[in-house]
Amino acid sequence: MTEVQHKDSHTRFNSVDWFGDFREITIGGVGTIGSWLSLLLARTGEHELIMYDDDKVEGINLSGQLFSKDDVGKSKTDSARDNIFSFTEISDQKVHSMNQKLTSESYVSAIAFSCFDNMKARKEMFKKWKTLENRELFIDGRMTIETYEVYVVKKGDEERYEKTLFNDSQVGEQICSLKNTSHTGALIAARMVTSFTNHIANGLMGIDIREVPFHFREDMQLQLITMECQQK
């Protein structure tokens, strides 16, 4: 058996302009979006990942989330961590499975991804991130079965983002068989990672040459994409 050399998994992209600036990243929610996102982020480099979720994997989750039948009954954060170890060479010291809800007392990094399926948790994470003096990037993913949208918040954009928030009571109950799919979860996760890598590339180059829209939305039935740019 051939021994895998350190960082072999990076050799196909380690010359790209965003590679090498490894960050501490907090992921809130490891379900339909977060399970895909955590693996995709880990495959972009040796970032330190802190994942929050207090749920366990259920059979129904296999329809949209990146878990296997063997994960049923295990915590989502532990299962996502094991996926990362199976598919990357990242050190086990770089991945933190926080099998608990994210609260006002939780630690949140300057770069944070909100992958929650409810507004209450999303607001809690954003409120915590907003208190950080060194806050840099807050990426919020929202989805239905065949639409998704991504908000990218930088320091100074907080008020604009807060106008997009609402109460969970304003959302109608979705039919269980029309909630999520794996391909939509993977697609929004990829879009969120792209916003992150574009942001990192712009910082390293010292010029905003890559697009990092404030709001990106795709209707997959119509193949329709709309974007709102960042404020200058």
pLDDT in tens, 86-107: 999 999 999 999 999 999 999 9
pLDDT of residue 52: 98
What residues does each domain of the chain span?
20-164+172-228
Q: Answer whether residue 132 shows pLDDT above 60.
A: yes
Q: Where are the beta strands (DSSP E) in 5-130?
A: 24-28, 48-52, 95-98, 111-114
| pLDDT at site 109 | 98
Task: Indicate whether this model's pTM tops 0.85.
Answer: yes
Which pLDDT tens digit goes with each residue over 153-174? 999 999 999 999 988 777 655 5
How far apart CA 102 and CA 120 sit, in angstroms, is 11
Please say if the pLDDT value at position 178 is more than 50: no
Residue 149 φ then ψ, to 5°: -145, 150
Please report which helix (H) or strand (E) contains residue 4, including its range: none
Element (H, E) at 73: none
**Buried b or exposed e, range 115-138, using 16+ CB within 10 angstroms:** bbbebebbbbbbebbeeeeebbbb
**According to the model, what pLDDT value does residue 182 have?**
93
Taking CA atoms, 178 is separated from 100, 105, 115, 184, in Å, by 27, 34, 18, 12
Question: What is the side-by-side strand order in the sheet with 147-154?
Answer: 95-98, 48-52, 24-28, 111-114, 137-143, 147-154, 215-219, 224-228
Of 211, 219, 218, nearest to 194 by C-alpha is 211
Per-residue pLDDT at 180: 79
pLDDT value of position 5: 43
CB 43 within 8 A of CB 87: yes
CATH architecture of 20-164+172-228: 3-Layer(aba) Sandwich (3.40)
- Segment 6-56, tens digit of pLDDT: 467 787 888 899 998 999 999 999 999 999 999 999 999 999 999 999 999
Whole-angstrom distance, CA of residue 76 vs CA of residue 98: 10
Residue 232: pLDDT above 90? no
Which tops the pLDDT comparison, 17 or 177?
A: 17
d(CA 130, CA 102): 15
Would you state the pLDDT for residue 9?
76
Helix (H) or strand (E) holding 138: strand 137-143
Contacts of residue 20, defined as CB under 8 A and 6 or more positions apart, other chains included, come to 14, 45
Query: What proportion of the chain, given as a percentage, has pLDDT over 90?
Result: 81
